[in-house]
């Protein structure tokens, strides 16, 4: 007799990821924790096994139902491996049931890669922090607990979109224009190029505050100006558009390690809105103020949830939904120039923090994406891109050094071409 296995629905934001996944668009993102010493693979395996027990959903595989995908519990055991795959290589395979995350290590780095249907950045970071603490307990006997880990486990890990969907809330109007796109030759074999910059949190915040801006606003304006400097005259008829994922937990009090994010858009037309940095920053600030309101974010939740809760859509078989979702994904992919994500400050217990150098994050992406992650006084900024050309990355980091902020930069591009990770000259 077949064993009855527990199953659960995908949250609303997760539903787009399985049908739009391919070898080129993997919908995988990686979190990194770099220690002060080399990683012991056997101890990391034990730490992983301890941690995954606190995250029951991480035992799941992804299945196709009649109308939607769903998670089903499995007996699969996650295995740690020394890093051997490209960054953010594909995890989900529609023809093979497998876990939706992987853990690897390379020298002093612990890598956690997640298929986005399983979790967003905030949820994945909880898992990584718990695993790193378990590893340091195995290695050095360090005691302590990641404070919000137990809260997340005890909450039942709800679908936050379901909890906060209110069909009476007004859905914001959408008047999107097609965005300027950065074109160019792709890296071989669907590889992802990652350039990482490391700088002082204090220095970056001081410079942002000099401009009366948050760190995200300050860096998004710099990213837009870096894009501007790479645009040909004939390309300036389209706006540069930055999509910015927003952790909705900051606005709605719920604890979940699943997806709970919305996306806002910062659009800048250099012909109409101005070309100078201060003009760009003013527009960025206005965009944030206008969109980061409870009313607008309720509307974003409503926009995401309205289709799923439509009785007609519910009745459409998944086999029919899949090509429609793929087309919607391709269309949405053309609505932005680049993406920007600020994970924020990562905290660890003091004894563990002494053994950790930094945290960082980078996603698999079809266009350039900037991510930042702060730990102690180290701000790690990654720029991920499938393109060979690194002009945007160089302009961005040179912009920081030009403002008097020292940046140390490394890249995996040399390794892609057959060498090793290398420092990059600005």
22 and 105 part of one domain: yes
pLDDT in tens, 135-174: 999 999 987 666 555 544 544 577 888 888 887 777 766 6
**Paired tokens of 15:** 């539903």
Residue 175 CB partners (closer than 8 Å, separation 6+): none
109 and 192 part of one domain: no
75 and 216 part of one domain: no
137 and 281 part of one domain: no
Range of the domain at 284: 188-423
288 and 361 part of one domain: yes
- State how far the Cα of 9 lies from the Cα of 257, in Å rounded to an integer: 14
84 and 204 part of one domain: no
Q: Is residue 181 part of a domain?
A: no
DSSP track, 233-276: GGGTTS-EEEEEEEEGGGTS----SS--EEEEEEEE-TTTS-SS
Q: How far is CA 250 from the centre of its chain?
A: 16
> Which residues on neighbouring strands pair with residue 7, listed in sequence order?
72
DSSP track, 316-328: S-HHHHHHHHHHH
221 and 108 part of one domain: no
Q: Is residue 59 part of a domain?
A: yes
Do 346 and 378 touch, CB atoms closer than 8 A?
Answer: no
310 and 369 part of one domain: yes
Do 196 and 371 touch, CB atoms closer than 8 A?
Answer: no
Do 237 and 293 touch, CB atoms closer than 8 A?
Answer: no
Number of compact structural domains in the chain: 2
pLDDT in tens, 85-119: 999 999 999 989 999 999 999 999 999 999 999 99
For position 422, what pLDDT does the model report? 54
251 and 398 part of one domain: yes
Q: Is residue 61 part of a domain?
A: yes
The bridge status of strand 369-375 relative to strand 378-385 is antiparallel
The bridge status of strand 109-115 relative to strand 28-35 is antiparallel
141 and 219 part of one domain: no
**Paired tokens of 366:** 């079809």
Q: What is the DSSP letter of 102?
A: E
Do 127 and 51 touch, CB atoms closer than 8 A?
Answer: yes
Strand order in the sheet with 378-385: 261-268, 240-247, 338-345, 369-375, 378-385, 193-200, 408-411, 422-423
Tens of pLDDT along the chain (426 residues) come to 346 778 898 988 899 999 999 988 999 999 999 999 999 999 999 999 999 999 999 999 999 998 899 999 999 999 999 999 999 999 999 989 999 999 999 999 999 999 999 999 999 999 999 999 999 999 999 876 665 555 445 445 778 888 888 877 777 666 667 899 999 999 999 999 999 999 999 999 999 999 999 999 999 999 999 999 999 998 988 999 999 999 999 999 888 889 999 999 999 999 999 999 999 999 999 999 999 999 999 998 988 787 777 777 778 888 888 888 888 777 777 789 999 999 999 999 999 999 999 999 999 999 999 999 999 999 999 999 999 999 999 999 999 999 999 999 999 886 655 544 455 555
> Which residues on neighbouring strands pair with residue 61, listed in sequence order?
72
Helices vs strands, H then E, count in the chain: 13, 16
Q: Is residue 217 part of a domain?
A: yes
Q: What is the CATH number of the domain that holds 32?
A: 3.30.559.10
Q: Is residue 60 part of a domain?
A: yes
Q: What is the CATH number of the domain that holds 195?
A: 3.30.559.30
DSSP track, 141-167: ------HHHHHHHHTT---HHHHH--T
315 and 381 part of one domain: yes
Q: Is residue 180 part of a domain?
A: no
Q: Is residue 392 part of a domain?
A: yes
φ, ψ (nearest 5 deg) of residue 270 = -70, -20
Residue 296 CB partners (closer than 8 Å, separation 6+): 172, 290
192 and 160 part of one domain: no
Among 164, 180, 197, identify where a domain stops: 164
- State how far the Cα of 194 lies from the Cα of 421, in Å rounded to an integer: 10
Q: Is residue 287 part of a domain?
A: yes
CB atoms within 10 A of CB 155: 13
């Amino acid at each position: 007799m077949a064993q009855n296995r527990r199953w659960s629905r995908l949250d609303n934001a997760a539903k787009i990821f399985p049908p739009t996944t391919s070898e080129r668009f993997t919908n995988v993102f990686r979190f990194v924790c770099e220690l002060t010493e080399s990683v012991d693979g056997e101890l990391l395996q034990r730490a992983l096994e301890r941690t995954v027990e606190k995250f029951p959903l991480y035992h799941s595989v992804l299945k196709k139902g009649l109308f939607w995908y769903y998670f089903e519990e499995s007996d699969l055991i996650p295995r740690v491996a020394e890093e051997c795959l490209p960054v953010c290589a594909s995890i989900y395979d529609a023809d093979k049931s497998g876990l939706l995350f992987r853990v690897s290590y390379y020298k002093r780095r612990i890598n956690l890669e997640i298929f986005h249907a399983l979790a967003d950045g905030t949820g994945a970071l909880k898992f990584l922090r718990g695993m790193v603490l378990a590893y340091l307990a195995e290695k050095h006997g360090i005691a302590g607990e990641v404070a919000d880990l137990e809260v997340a486990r005890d909450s039942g890990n709800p679908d936050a979109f379901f909890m906060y969907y209110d069909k009476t809330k007004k859905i914001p109007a959408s008047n999107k224009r097609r965005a300027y796109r950065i074109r160019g030759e792709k890296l071989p074999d669907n590889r992802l190029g990652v350039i990482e910059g490391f700088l002082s949190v204090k220095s970056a915040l001081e410079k942002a505050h000099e401009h009366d801006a948050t760190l995200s606003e300050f860096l998004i304006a710099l990213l837009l100006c870096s894009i501007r400097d790479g645009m040909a005259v004939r390309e300036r008829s389209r706006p540069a558009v930055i999509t910015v994922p927003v952790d909705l937990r900051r606005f709605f009090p719920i604890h979940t390690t699943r997806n709970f994010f919305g996306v806002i858009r910062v659009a800048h037309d250099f012909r109409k809105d101005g070309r100078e940095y201060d003009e760009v920053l003013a527009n960025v600030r206005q965009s944030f103020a206008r969109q980061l309101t409870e009313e607008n974010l309720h509307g974003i939740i409503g926009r995401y949830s309205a289709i799923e809760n439509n009785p007609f859509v519910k009745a459409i078989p998944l086999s029919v939904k899949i090509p429609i979702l793929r087309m919607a994904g391709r269309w949405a992919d053309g609505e932005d120039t680049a993406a920007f994500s600020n994970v924020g400050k990562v905290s660890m217990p003091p004894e563990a923090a002494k053994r950790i150098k930094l945290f960082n994050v980078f996603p698999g992406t079809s266009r350039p994406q900037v991510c930042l992650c702060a730990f102690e006084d180290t701000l790690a900024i990654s720029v991920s891109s499938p393109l060979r050309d690194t002009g945007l990355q160089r302009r961005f980091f040179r912009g920081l050094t030009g403002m008097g902020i020292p940046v140390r930069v490394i890249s995996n591009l040399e390794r892609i071409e057959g060498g090793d990770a290398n420092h990059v000259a600005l």
